Chains A and B, each alone.
Chain A
Amino acid sequence: MLKEMFQVFKKRKQKPLSMQQQLVGEQTELKEQSISSDLEENFQTLKKLFHIPKNNDVKVRELYIEGLNKKACLLFISTISDVKSIEENILKPLLTNKSGKEIKEIVSIQAVTEIHLFKDAVKNLNQGNTVLLIDGCSQGFAMDCPNFQGRTIEKPNTEILIKGPKEAFIEKVDVNISLVRKKIKDENLVVESIDVGARSKSEVYILYIDDLANDKLVENIKNRLNRLDVNSIQNLSLLEEYIEERSYSLFPSILSTERPDRAATFLEDGYIVLLMDNSPDCLVLPATFWSFFHSPEDHYLRFLYGNFTRALRMAAMFITVFTSAIYIAITAYHSEMIPSELMLAIAASREKVPFPAVVEILMMEFAFELIREAGLRVPSPIGPTIGIVGALILGQAAVQANIISPIVIIVSALSGLSSFAVSDISLNFAVRLIRFVFIICAAFMGMYGMTAFFVAGVYYMVSIKSYGVPYLAPMSPSYKSSSDTMFRRLLRNEKFRPGFLKPSDLQKKQ
């Protein structure tokens, strides 16, 4: 037995092969070769790499450049490149040119790069660029002309504001960067890119303002991204789980937003923003509890209105978490607390209901979550039907059938409705899940159980960190900052960038 255990141990100890070495059918060796001066040979290699002619949309155009007196070959993937531009700016000048000028001077494309390895040729082609190979020339030319299809900029769908900019990120990263740059016209805004995914090479863009963001933080995030050893990561929502801290925790540690204005505000405070193709949102890190709790509208609205919204949101959060639990605690353990008339009313309404309060509440809360989930997935033409069915069946009919008492409907509707006021989806889920734990605590030990869990939760919350930043900073532990936590201050008094990020320049304004 010991031997077996040893073997298991040994197996564990064996270093897993890096993803790069394991890739089957990736023709890594071919890719590492450098481009030769023989056009036919180069052409054959690329043909092998791109599975031509099996691959339908990889186009090859052979041509003769008169000015250079050489044969050449043009490769591109027609579905992801701008075919018109290729025709106008590459093919035509090449075919009509009679002088002996350099290639770079013939074509009228904005960026032309020389490539020497097949690896680069492949990468360029996959990015929608065109590659030109010339006979007798041991280098190729990659010409910028990508044209990926996608939707145009639209209004935000999840973070809806009444006042403030109405643009949202889309699936094209160039557009997203442009949206951010439009808001921060600063040469120090750096857009770095890192490749993730060994097979499908997706680029993750790291945005930060160079003289503001903390260098160590940027380095830390770059390291995390570089360490990823996976085949492919399609978008940011998937990337989030790879780089977040505490994947099992209820509390999110990275903020995701679809609003470029919000991303820009975070950037200017010294945070770091990640962008990626195929993601209509960005990731902001590090994130504190307050960044999930806030909405950009709090600052767009006037001081008092914005703070009123914040107070409402905080109240909504507490209602969501505690209402159902308090109802159970009071009816089951502390019934002396309710005024006697109300207690009689509750007792009368519960008289015919056979279940204990906790079962009733759990049923209703579960039903509410069901309606919510189903309402989200349902095709839009029958959407309203769900509402009617839900309200009718779960509301009135359940009461008439003596399954639920009317007051439980009020309680769970209140907590369900309030949960919508927490706009950030991650925090929203966290709050909704915590609600169930509190319900169970209240069912077991009333107020005592709830308080015990609450205090344990506070201990947990103050001890967790997101990329080295305490979760409840700057409220406690306190840092020099604009104290934009529960309530915001007047804009002219928000003088400091958040100190917990250790930005190079703390002062925002005088």
Chain B
Amino acid sequence: MKQNKGTIGIKEYIALVILTVGAKLSDDTPAILFENAKNAGWIAVALIGLLSVLPILFMLKVFSVHREKNLHEIILHLFGKFIGNIVSVLLLFGGVFALIVDSGISTDIISSFYFTKTPPIIVYSILMMVCAYGAKRGFEHIGTAAWLLLPYVKITLFIVLLFSFGGGTFGFIYPLWGEGMLPIIKTVAKDMSIYADFLYIGLVAPLVTSFKVLKKGTIWALAIVTFEICIAMVAFVMLFDYTTAEMLAYPFHETIRYIHIGFLSNVETFFFPFWLVATFIRFSFYLYLSATLLGGILKIKEFEYLIPLLTTIVILLGAAPESPSITLSAARKMNFQLLTPAFFVLPPLMWILAKIRGDFKNETA
């Protein structure tokens, strides 16, 4: 079962990150952003993207001197065993919590939009079982699958955006700054952690073929994802106007219900499988990351065996809340606010510690 030792190249890496982070445009992330920033949500995303460059660069800098270590090992190295483990455990809680909430929300989307009669627990179980299977196959294979399926997911997304631009009103994006700068900054400060995934990606850093690939891939992926989410937010605003967009829990799914292509008036079932593909890959990756971190903390080398355990926990906790679209959304907002400081503060802190410890002295480049 040593299937996870393979490394992945730049194509697979970018594809994986784009699918994982990019999938956020299709859950309730846009709704959370619209809440404060109103129709300037897309500017908020652009700002978040720009601002995220800082922690990501700090992180990459730290990784450049510890190429064979993953995030957890670096944290242990920099913070020492005790504090390092505490930091990792906190990160693990954040990550697993995000996994539970996000997968719960995806289940809610599937069972409230497409399978209203099927018990959500069955939908949830199938979702997580497929993801567990993917995660068990290993990082290399999740990346490969992501690269193979990326074109189809993105082509369909492109079609959706094209048709929603066609059906939207351009004037809705004005006033450009929404209710002013302050709400935008507030949104940025609160929800910056929509990119916290980049922090967790550090857990698989040694499994990317080279540091160059990691650096280039991360920055490219960040740029593409930011652009993608921005465009999607603009499309949602143009289609619904911000008052409605703010009310909708899952704007993307409302969009694919709203648009029609030629003689086909209901096309959501056409786009649904492609969205699902992205969702499956996203949670496979999250599961894998959580298992890696948990395995690191508990010092379990064969951490693949933790995946079934994690999957069970996720299903049990994720399926527990009543009225998930409200509870989970609130939980998600909370998690965003908790992870934001972690995402923004941890990498610079790591960099400072590395500097103090003199890790950068032996740097070749």
Tell me which of A336, A446, A447, A455 contacts B145 (CB under 8 A): A455
Find chain B residues with CB under 8 A from A476 CB. 11-12, 144, 147-148
Complex partner residue of B138 from A334, A445, A451, A463, CB under 8 angstroms: A463
- Interface-located stretch among B175-183, B211-219, B258-266, B315-323: B258-266
User: Which residues of chain A are within 8 angstroms of B138 by Cβ–Cβ distance?
Assistant: 463
List 28 A-B pairs, Cβ < 8 Å: A336-B269, A337-B266, A337-B267, A339-B263, A445-B118, A446-B114, A446-B115, A447-B272, A448-B110, A448-B114, A448-B115, A448-B276, A451-B276, A451-B277, A455-B134, A455-B276, A455-B277, A456-B133, A458-B145, A459-B141, A459-B145, A462-B137, A462-B148, A463-B141, A472-B148, A476-B12, A477-B9, A477-B144
Q: Tell me if A478 is interfacial: C-beta within 8 Å of chain B.
A: yes
Interface: B280 (CB within 8 A): yes
Q: How far is the CB of A453 from chain B (nearest CB, A)?
A: 8
Whether A459 lies near B9 (C-beta < 8 A) is no
Given A447-B273, A455-B145, A455-B280; 15 other pairs, CB 8 A cutoff: A337-B268, A337-B269, A339-B264, A446-B115, A447-B276, A448-B114, A452-B130, A454-B277, A455-B149, A459-B134, A459-B142, A459-B284, A463-B3, A477-B6, A478-B9
> Residues of A contacting B284 with CB < 8 Å?
459
B57 touches A (CB below 8 Å):
no
Asked whether any CB of chain B lies closer than 8 Å to the CB of A475, the reply is yes
Interface of B is mostly: helix
Residue B123 CB within 8 A of the other chain: yes
Q: Does A330 contact B (CB under 8 A)?
A: yes
**Closest beta carbon of chain A to B213's beta carbon, Å:** 12
Does A43 interact with chain B (Cβ within 8 Å)? no
Roughly how many angstroms separate A478 CA and B144 CA in the complex, as a whole number? 9
Interface size bracket, A side: 20 to 34
Tell me the minimal C-beta distance from A356 to chain B in angstroms: 16
What per-residue 1/0 map shows which CB atoms of B1-34 lie under 8 Å from chain A?
A: 0010010110110000000000000000000000
Bound: A460/B141 CA distance, A:
9
> Within 8 Å CB of B304, what residues of A?
none
Residue of B nearest to A458 (CB): B145
Q: Give the residue among A334, A450, A463 with the most B Cβ atoms within 10 A.
A: A463
**Chain B positions 111 through 130: 1 when the CB is less than 8 Å from some CB of chain A, otherwise 0:** 00011001000010011001
**B residues in contact with A339, CB < 8 Å:** 263-265
* Given A339-B265, A452-B127, A333:B115 Cβ within 8 A: yes
Are A330 and B280 touching (Cβ within 8 A)? no
0 or 1 for each of B249-292: is its CB under 8 Å from A? (1 = yes): 00000000000000111111110110011001100100000000
A293 to B: closest C-beta gap in Å: 14
Q: Which residue of A lies closest to B209 (CB)?
A: A477
B73 interface residue (CB < 8 Å to A): no
Contact A448 B123 (CB under 8 A): yes
State whether the Cβ of A449 lies closer than 8 Å to any Cβ in chain B: yes
Tell me if A472 and B134 are in contact (CB < 8 A).
no
Residues of A close to B147: CB separation below 8 A: 476
Nearest 8 CB-CB pairings of A with B: A334-B269, A462-B144, A451-B276, A455-B280, A451-B273, A337-B269, A463-B141, A459-B134
Residue of B nearest to A453 (CB): B130
For chain A residues 468-504, which have a beta carbon within 8 Å of chain B? Answer: 470, 472, 475-478
Chain B contacts for A449, CB-based, 8 A: 126
Query: How distant is the Cα of A15 from the Cα of B118 in the complex, in angstroms?
Result: 54
Q: How far is the CA of A459 from the CA of B134 in the complex (A)?
A: 6
- A118 CB to nearest B CB, Å: 49
Against B, the Cβ 8 Å flags (1 = close, 0 = not) of A426-464 are 000000000000000000011111111011101110110
Question: A335 → chain B, closest Cβ, in Å?
Answer: 9
Q: How long is the Cα–Cα vector from A463 to B273 in the complex, in angstroms?
A: 22
Residues in B117-174 with C-beta less than 8 Å from chain A: 118, 123, 126-127, 130, 133-134, 137-138, 140-142, 144-145, 147-149
Could you say which residues of chain B place their CB within 8 Å of the CB of A475? Answer: 148
Q: How far, in whole Å, are A478 and B270 apart by their CA atoms in the complex?
A: 30
Q: How large is the interface on B (under 10, 10 to 19, 20 to 34, 35 or more residues)?
A: 35 or more
In the complex formed, the residue of A with least CB distance to B147 is A476
Find out whether the CB atom of A450 lies under 8 angstroms from the CB atom of B273.
Answer: yes
Per-position contact with A for B231-265: 1 when CB-CB < 8 Å, else 0?
A: 00000000000000000000000000000000111
Report chain B residues within 8 Å CB of A446: 114-115
- Residues of chain B lying within 8 A (CB to CB) of residue A337: 264, 266-270
Enumerate chain A residues within 8 angstroms of B6, measured Cβ to Cβ. Answer: 477
Q: How far is the CB of B31 from chain A (nearest CB, A)?
A: 23
B268: chain A residues within 8 A (beta carbon): 337
* Interface contact B12-A452, CB-CB below 8 Å: no
CA distance A295 to B263 in the complex (A): 38
Whole-angstrom distance between the alpha carbons of A472 and B273 in the complex? 22
Residues from chain B with Cβ under 8 Å of A450 in the complex: 273
Q: Is the CB of B114 within 8 A of A447?
A: yes
* Minimum C-beta distance from B124 to chain A (A): 11
Within 8 A of B (CB), among A326-370: 330, 333-334, 336-337, 339
- Minimum Cβ distance to chain B for residue A250 (Å): 16
Among B6, B140, B265, B273, the most chain A Cβ lie within 10 Å of the Cβ of B273
Query: Chain A 309-339, CB within 8 Å of chain B: the 1/0 string?
Result: 0000000000000000000001001101101
Residues of chain A lying within 8 A (CB to CB) of residue B137: 459-460, 462-463
Instruction: Report Cα–Cα, A452/B281, bound state, in Å.
Output: 11
Cα separation A66 to B105 with both chains bound (whole Å): 100
Using CB atoms, name the residue of chain A closest to B115.
Answer: A448
Inter-chain contacts of A455 with B (CB < 8 A): 130, 134, 145, 149, 276-277, 280-281
Separation of A452 and B127 alpha carbons in the complex (Å): 7
Partner of A451, one of B8, B9, B118, B280: B280
Which among A445, A447, A455, A472 has the highest number of chain B CB atoms within 10 Å?
A: A455
Cα–Cα, bound, A470→B3 (Å): 12
- Cα A403 to Cα B144 in complex, Å, equals 45
B window 83-116: CB within 8 A of A: 110, 114-115
Evaluate contact between B130 and A478: CB separation under 8 angstroms: no
Most chain B Cβ neighbours within 10 Å, of A330, A448, A475: A448
Within 8 A of B (CB), among A207-224: none
Verify B144–A472 contact, CB threshold 8 A. Answer: yes
